[in-house]
Amino acid sequence: MNSKRNVIFLSFTFAVTWATHWILAYIIQNDILQLEQSLSQLLLFVGGSGPIVAAYVAIAHTKDEGDQKEFHSRVLKVKVNYKWHLMVVLTPVVLGGVAVAIGYFCDNQSLVYNPIEPFYLYIPAFLNSIIAGGIEEFGWRGVVLPELLKKYNAMIATVILGVIWALWHLPLFYIPGTGQFEYSFIIFILSCIGISGFLTWIYVNTKSIFLCVVFHASLNASGIIGLTVLKSDIIAYVIYTILEVVIGLLLLMNLDKNNTEIKQEAGC
């Protein structure tokens, strides 16, 4: 990677997450435990907490690149235009609606297999998703992305981060009962790149880790209540993933174009 901070962060988070999640994969695949049991859930949680713990470890060892006070100023940055708050909550819901429409277009029985839950369930799902997913952004968009942007433009930084983010999830594809089990890892990589496009766009425009956490949590919550495409419907899954990538990269193209124009106006 392009900085000491990223080397420390990625080494730590992969060590924590892969160690616990690969152990969990072995335990469950060999019928030693079930995913619903307490020890399995503990291993799942510890592995999932890798990015937030690694973020603080990396910051503690690279204070010359920004200390905890600077980091927390981005974590707690909520004073942005209200439109951004609406965007990070509602965009994943809209994307979920599009996913449902694509699924229905490809198979008009999709809503039978994957019914949409009452929308009031979105709220507890969202709150749970902040812990079970959203706080990953302390590391991915709070540490890795800013360091990558020091060397690469938004497009390249996003693709690199999207691939790394997908690889971090790899053990989940071997854990029966998880949302990723036995599905296409290649398509998942593309999805991570597409979602990373949205998150890079949010972060570069706001410098708010908080908003990235909210977007991630809203995305997960939307899927929990059924606003998603069934991964077993490979055609719908591919179409939706391509749409994610296209929209995400278009946002980044506009972002890089604007940054280039600003530099040119400044005489850089």
CB of 180 closer than 8 Å to CB of 169: yes
Per the structure, how many domains does the chain have? 1
Which pLDDT value is given to residue 267? 42
Q: Quick one: what percent of the chain has pLDDT higher than 90?
A: 82
Q: Is the pLDDT of residue 200 over 60?
A: yes
Q: Buried b vs exposed e over 71-109: b needs ≥16 C-beta within 10 Å?
A: beebbeeeebeeebbebbbebbbebbebbbebbeebbee
- Measured at the alpha carbon of residue 58, what is the angle toward residues 57 and 60, in degrees to the nearest 5? 65
Is residue 202 assigned to a domain?
yes
Is residue 139 assigned to a domain?
yes
Which pLDDT value is given to residue 114? 85
Q: In which residue are the tokens 């209540």 written? A: 225
Tell me the average pLDDT across 16-39. Answer: 94
Torsion-angle region of 177 (φ positive above 0: left; ψ -120 to 50: alpha; else: beta): left
Is residue 95 assigned to a domain?
yes
Tokens, residue 232: 């077993």
Is residue 68 assigned to a domain?
no
Is residue 22 assigned to a domain?
no
- Quick: pLDDT tens for 127-180: 999 998 899 999 999 999 999 999 999 999 999 999 999 999 999 999 998 888
Q: Predicted confidence band at 263 (pLDDT cuts at 50, 70, 90)?
A: very low
CB of 82 closer than 8 Å to CB of 214: no
Query: Who contacts 265 (Cβ-Cβ below 8 Å, separation ≥6)?
Result: none
Tokens, residue 153: 């433009």
- Quick: pLDDT tens for 206-250: 999 999 999 999 999 999 999 999 888 899 999 999 999 999 999
What amino acid is encoded at 189 in this protein?
I
Contacts by residues 103-106 (CB-CB < 8 Å, ≥ 24 positions apart) = 103/229, 103/230, 103/233, 103/236, 103/240, 105/236, 106/233, 106/235, 106/236, 106/239
- Quick: pLDDT tens for 74-103: 999 999 999 999 999 999 999 999 999 999
Tell me the average pLDDT across 37-64. Answer: 94
Is residue 252 assigned to a domain?
yes
pTM reported for the whole predicted model: 0.92
Is residue 173 assigned to a domain?
yes
Q: Which range of residues forms the domain containing residue 168?
A: 77-265
Which pLDDT value is given to residue 257? 61
Distance of CA 28 to the CA centre of its chain: 25
Is residue 56 assigned to a domain?
no
Q: Is the pLDDT of residue 266 over 50?
A: no
